[in-house]
Amino acid sequence: MARGIYKRTLLVNSSKRAFIDAINNFNNISNSYRSESALILMSNAIELLSKAVLLKLGSSVTDPRDRSKTISAEQSVWKIYNDHKKIGDIEQQAIQQLISLRNEASHDVLPEIHTDVLHYLMFSSYQTYKKLFITQFRGHDDLFKASLLSISTDSNLTYADSIEGLLKVGKKSEKQRRLLYLLERGVAYSGTQYIAQDDFEKQFKQSSNRRLINRGALGSFLSRAELLKVVFVQAPKNHTINVDIAKGGSTQREALPVFVKKTDINKDYPYILTTLAEKLGIGRHVVLNKITELNMKGNDKYHQAVQVSRQHYVQKYSDAAYQFLKDKFKV
């Protein structure tokens, strides 16, 4: 048992190092091999963590065909998903796409990939990695207390926009067909082997006139997966930013309209707790108890927490909060 725990610890520690290096490489815009190195390191991090989880759950990671080796990254993730139900279908498929691209980068030349596709796969892998770590190895969750930042200045597209664009292209280049195949084989991974590119292309030609959702496993994945777009907004001092995402039109450029509302804290949230209580004519603690009871904190309509120093916040309340409390207290 002690030897098993020691092996898991080695896997976890190596996984953490690969994970941090994966994030660092993905954030390093001067790295000309950025995409490939990030894919390779993130896949390595997930593979090692998956194997540590499998050992913890009492499952073997030895390759049954060759006892001197362990199972592959895709098999490790498949067992976490299929045998132990520790991750969901969408999580597993996103990671399998990442691993499929990693395999291509390790053994051949990786096709050009739009930044938003990589953002989606890296972010999804990050989230699943974090979920597995926190649920299975709580003593190591300090890994996620750091601020990990990646900036995209590309046009306003998402993973789905990029892939839908590829699926809609009539005559695809060899590189485009290869990229679609790499993503499709990740989504369609059966737990034992990948589909062949020739089989994929035959299936794709047969479904070319169907709706996108019916164009292979990748089309179905697009219809169910969450979209991701990082939107950076520069806010003036004493303002907050509310971002709303609306359903767009039929063209790719309209796929993700983002509406930004600038909020003036002092104007839109004029009351601190003391002034709010004075205006209501009710004791401060009574008002605070009512705010807690009604779950008003954290609701942008009523409340904003304004940071005034590294560790201190001022709680500000809107006129809507005053009117709401006035009605509840029947003032």
Higher pLDDT: 56 or 232? It is: 56
Q: What is the 3-state secondary structure (H, E, C) of 4-23?
A: HHHHHHHHHHHHHHHHHHHH
Please name the amino acid found at residue 323: Q
Reported pTM? 0.66
- Spatial separation of the C-alpha atoms in residues 245 and 44, rounded to whole Å: 34
Q: What would you report as the CA-atom Rg of the chain, rounded to the nearest whole angstrom?
A: 25
**Per residue in 113-123, pLDDT tens?**
888 888 889 98
Mean pLDDT computed over 286-300: 88
**Per residue in 44-92, pLDDT tens?**
999 999 999 999 999 999 999 998 999 999 999 999 999 999 999 999 9
**Per residue in 162-216, pLDDT tens?**
888 887 777 788 898 899 999 999 999 999 999 999 998 888 777 766 665 667 8
316 - beta bridge partners?
Answer: 304
- What DSSP letter does each residue of 271-325 carry, written as one string? B-HHHHHHHHTS-HHHHHHHHHHTT-TT-TTTEEEEE-SSS-EEEEE-HHHHHHH
pLDDT of residue 253: 45
Q: Per-domain residue ranges for the chain?
A: 2-224, 231-266, 269-329
239 - beta bridge partners?
Answer: 264
Token pair of 50 as six digits: 């998956």
- Spatial separation of the C-alpha atoms in residues 252 and 259, rounded to whole Å: 17
DSSP state of 112: P
